Amino acid sequence: MKVLVCVKRVLDPQVKARVKADGSGVDLANAKMTMNPFCENALEEALRMREAGTVSEIVVVSVGGGKTEETLRHGLAMGADRAIHVVTEDSLEPLAIAKVLKQVTEQEDAGLVICGKQAIDGDSNQTTQMLSALLGWSQATFASEVKIEGGEATVTREVDAGLETIQVKMPAVMSADLRLNEPRYVKLPDVMKAKRKPMDKIELDSMGLDTANRLTTLKVDEPEGRAAGIIVNSVSELVEKLRNEAKVI
């Protein structure tokens, strides 16, 4: 079975995000970028499936500008067999990304698609579900454990009430949670090998899809700074401040 792993290039989670002076978005100029952490979990799970003999080929795919190639090379260094780069400088919404992934999935004749649960920049958590609907495939989101046997997958999901175990028919679209696995460390020899692995490039315009954005960002603000805490001398003083200053009781 061929598995398609969707990855995204995002701002490094260890870097403090800076808002542009005009408030139009986050300033990514000269910022350190990396693969979305949830996407690393998705790729690691695909690699473990291949090691277990469930998967025969792993293809990583991403949509973005020229520097997205760096993220795909990281995926190849982790162990993916091939990469597909859908080239566009536009920032696409989840529905547009799902349309692109649908076409790539059908062209590759993949039997499984694994995405990260969400991207840490937009936090939309929509692409997996939309892709499942467009393909007409089963979906298993927020996966913390996956077992594939025959034509079915047993997936343990992380939900608000705890853990939920479901069975879905293959082919399927899954999204990986952080507790699904621990992504492997990429060694220097693997980075060198990744430079020789194939990467196909597809211009977004050549796909003939409607990828127009339907949302407009009005303004982006940095969160207000947190005030320093204070020490009170008694319970009555605490209650007084909560009632008259914080106004929460």
**In the predicted model, is pLDDT for residue 24 greater than 90?**
no
First to last CA, the chain: 58
- Each residue of 165-193: pLDDT tens digit? 999 999 999 999 999 999 999 999 999 99
DSSP per residue, 34-56: EE-HHHHHHHHHHHHHHHTTS-S
- Each residue of 69-83: pLDDT tens digit? 999 999 999 999 999
The one-character DSSP state at 193 is H
Neighbouring C-beta atoms of residue 54, cutoff 10 Å: 17
Percentage with pLDDT > 70 across the chain: 100
**In the predicted model, is pLDDT for residue 30 greater than 90?**
no
The band of 245, judged by pLDDT with boundaries at 50, 70 and 90, is confident
- Each residue of 128-147: pLDDT tens digit? 999 999 999 999 999 999 99
Distance of CA 30 to the CA centre of its chain: 22
pLDDT score recorded for residue 54: 92
Q: Kindly tell me the burial class for residue 236, based on how many C-beta atoms sit within 10 Å of its own C-beta (0-12, 13-18, 19 or more).
A: exposed
Distance CA 213, CA 47 (A): 34
The H-or-E segment that residue 95 falls in is helix 94-108
pLDDT score recorded for residue 142: 96
Distance CA 6, CA 224 (A): 34
pLDDT score recorded for residue 192: 94
In words, the CATH class of domain 2-244 is alpha beta
Which tokens sit at 216? 């407009």
The band of 17, judged by pLDDT with boundaries at 50, 70 and 90, is confident
Which tokens sit at 104? 């790539």
pLDDT score recorded for residue 100: 97
Strands 82-87 and 57-64: parallel
